[in-house]
Amino acid sequence: MGRYLTVAAAQMGPGSENKAENVKRMLVLIKEAAQQKVDFIGFVELALTPFFAMEVIADYDHYYEEQMPSPLTEPLFKAAREANMGMVLPYAEKDPLYGRYYNSSIIVDCDGTILGKYRKTHVPGAMFLMENKQGPGGTAQKTYYFMEKRYFAPGDLGFPVFQSKKEGAKIGVLICFDRRFPEACRCLALSGAEVVFIPYNTPGDALLAGMSPNMNEIVLRTRAYEDFFYVVGVGRAGIAYGRQFNAGSLIAEAGTGDVKAMVSTDGDELVSATIDLDKVTAGRYGYHGFCERRPELYRPVVL
Ligand code: CDV
């Protein structure tokens, strides 16, 4: 008997400035997931807001949540709990104690218990491009580069793995840019992660020139292959800030990187698959060769 879990990626089109509107759309996706008997649903990076880091905004405090659940998010907790469904909920976090801002996700178990939080570790940003680019009259020219460093501090929680009551599933989370760092993924694998949710906002952008348009799919599937965990990639879709976002949400098979399920639209869409958690440790330390690792020779990786 395997330990089976049905997981879902809840892809979303452009986020509304009205956070309640986004919650409404998320509730529709939870309802659909409940019909498909999903055990764990993952939402997109910064699911409650637009991907506001695309521009320089003076007044941005309203995008952040200081507590979870909050009056805004309580309906999501309720709907997921009633469906006996766990949830990976990415959002803009303001730490009320230190006043710091993070690009975070909470991990909520099927009974509504908050298992913990992950804060995006690798925060992309290109602020220097803004400062160097002067528009008419010496004013900063409005560009559309990634401004995440303006809005988020680098995560300080490491790469925790959370254990769900559902099948004892070991769940990890990485957020967008993090997926490009094999070290982050390997840390999760070595801590026993069986399924890793990876929400993202990836605009097809001139800044990324030279990168394959298939980059996102290649990276998600590669991580599933090399770290022997299931990957649930949850993308932002559609056009926002004048850019086409990547979409392409998928669930990749542990150890092979094969696509188990993939969205077919460029908007709000749920895609789900049933995964066999027992495959992970057996495969990782069996034919996949984790027991042959030579960490004593990997020092350059941590310098
Ligand atoms: N939101 C992100 O972290 N985006 C990054 C790039 C585009 C800076 C990504 O890896 O998709």
CATH of the domain at 211: 3.60.110.10
Residue 113 counted as domain residue: yes
* 152 in any annotated domain: no
- Burial grade of 245 (CB within 10 A; 0-12, 13-18, 19 or more): buried
Q: Which of 44, 51, 103, 202 to mutate to test the pocket of ligand 1 (most atoms within 8 A of CB)?
A: 202
Taking 90 as the threshold, does the pLDDT of residue 281 lie above it? yes
Mean pLDDT of 120-141: 62
Residue 167 near residue 4, CB atoms below 8 Å: yes
Residue with the smallest CA separation from ligand 1 atom 8 is 124
Query: Rounded to an integer, what distance in angstroms lies between the CA atom of residue 234 and that of residue 42?
Result: 7
| 105 found inside a domain | yes
pLDDT average, residue stretch 143-157: 85
DSSP tag of 58:
S
Is the beta carbon of 200 within 6 A of some atom in ligand 1? yes
Q: Residue 214 has what pLDDT? A: 87
Considering the chain, what percentage of its residues have pLDDT values greater than 70? Answer: 91
Note the pLDDT tens digit of each residue in 208-249: 556 677 889 999 999 999 999 999 999 999 999 888 899 999
Q: Give me ligand 1 centre to Cα 124, in Å.
A: 7
- Residue pair 191/213 in contact (Cβ under 8 Å)? The answer is no
Backbone angles phi, psi at 100, to 5 degrees: -95, 155
Question: What is the CA(198)–ligand 1 centre distance, in A?
Answer: 12
Stated pTM of the model: 0.94
Kindly give the interhelix angle for 182-190 and 215-227, rounded to the nearest 10 degrees: 30
| Domain span including residue 39 | 4-120+157-288
Digit-coded pLDDT (tens) for 36-52: 999 999 999 999 999 99
Q: Is residue 222 part of a domain?
A: yes
Q: What is the pLDDT of residue 204?
A: 73
At 285, list the tokens: 């330390």
Residue 149 within a domain: no
Atom of ligand 1 nearest to the CA of 53: 1
In a domain, 209, yes or no: yes
Residue nearest to atom 5 of ligand 1 (CA): 177
Give, for 280, the enclosing helix (H) or strand (E): helix 278-284
What's the pLDDT band for 128 if we cut at 50, 70, 90?
very low
DSSP structure class, residue 142: P
Residue 26 maps to a domain: yes
Distance 293 CA to ligand 1 centre (A): 30
Q: What is the per-residue pLDDT across 68-124, written as a single tens digit (0 to 9) for each?
A: 999 999 999 999 999 999 999 999 999 999 999 999 999 999 999 999 999 999 998
Considering its fold, how many domains does the chain have in total?
A: 1
Q: What's the confidence (pLDDT) of residue 171? A: 98
User: 20-24, 144-148, 220-224 — which is least confidently predicted?
Assistant: 144-148
Ligand 1: atom nearest CA of 51 is: 1
Domain assignment present for residue 134? The answer is no
Instruction: Tell me, in angstroms, the distance from the centre of ligand 1 to residue 83's CA.
Output: 32
Residue 201 pLDDT grade (very low, low, confident, very high; cuts 50, 70, 90): very high
From CA 282, how far away is CA 292, in angstroms rounded?
A: 14
**Average pLDDT value for residue range 188-209:** 86
Q: Is the CB of 201 under 6 A from ligand 1?
A: yes
Please list the active-site residues: 45, 120, 176
Residue 147, pLDDT score: 85
How far is 284 from 171, CA to CA, in rounded Å? Answer: 16
DSSP state of 131: H
| Distance between first and last Cα of the chain | 43
pLDDT at 241: 87
